[in-house]
């Protein structure tokens, strides 16, 4: 499982990246939402954990939409410091896998990451099977 963790709160980002690495997650931290699409296009991330609000860049919802355009199978978990139901609904409606309120519990996040990874691998397997059927027909 390869994870990109995006949050402008550098201290929070560093702690979460460190905790995930202790759980053997291949995770990269990014404090600037403006570079998300560039990194996703360069590297094969399975999951993006994305802060909803980051000053100086697009909204998390706009970044989510961009992610889904260029890499539709990448699962996105939205994070916010504010329990905003409208933002959660908007994120899910635009393809987010799940939504968490900060400070995120590491055990809950790890569980959600595993679920998201499982969903992505199942979708990739279905696509490979369809491609194999089409090749052989």
If one compares 94 and 90, the residue with the highest pLDDT of the two is 94
What share of the chain has pLDDT > 70, as a percent?
97
* Domain boundaries, position 7: 2-136
What total number of domains does the chain contain? 1
- Cβ neighbours of residue 36 closer than 8 Å, sequence gap 6 or more: 4, 6, 30, 48, 50, 63, 66, 67
Q: The domain that contains 122 carries what CATH number?
A: 3.40.50.2300
Q: Residue 62 and residue 95: Cα distance in Å, rounded?
A: 11
According to the model, what pLDDT value does residue 53 have? 81
- What does the pLDDT read at residue 85? 67
Task: Pick the more confident residue, 112 or 86.
Answer: 112
Q: Is the model's pLDDT at 83 over the cut of 90?
A: no
* pLDDT tens track for 13-66: 999 999 999 999 999 999 988 889 999 999 989 999 998 887 777 888 899 999
Mean pLDDT of the chain: 90
Residue 122 has pLDDT above 80, yes or no: yes
């Amino acid at each position: 499982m390869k994870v990109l963790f995006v949050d402008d709160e550098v201290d929070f980002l560093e702690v979460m990246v460190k905790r995930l690495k202790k759980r053997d997650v291949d995770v990269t931290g990014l404090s600037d939402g403006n570079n998300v699409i560039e990194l996703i296009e360069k590297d094969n991330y399975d999951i993006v954990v994305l802060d909803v609000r980051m000053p100086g860049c697009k909204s998390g919802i706009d970044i989510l939409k961009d992610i889904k355009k260029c890499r539709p199978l990448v699962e996105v978990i939205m994070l916010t410091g504010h329990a905003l139901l409208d933002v959660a609904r908007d994120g899910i409606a635009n393809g987010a896998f799940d939504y968490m309120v900060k400070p995120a519990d590491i055990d809950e996040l790890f569980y959600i990451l595993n679920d998201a990874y499982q969903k992505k691998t199942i979708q990739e397997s279905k696509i490979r099977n369809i491609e194999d059927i089409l090749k052989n027909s």
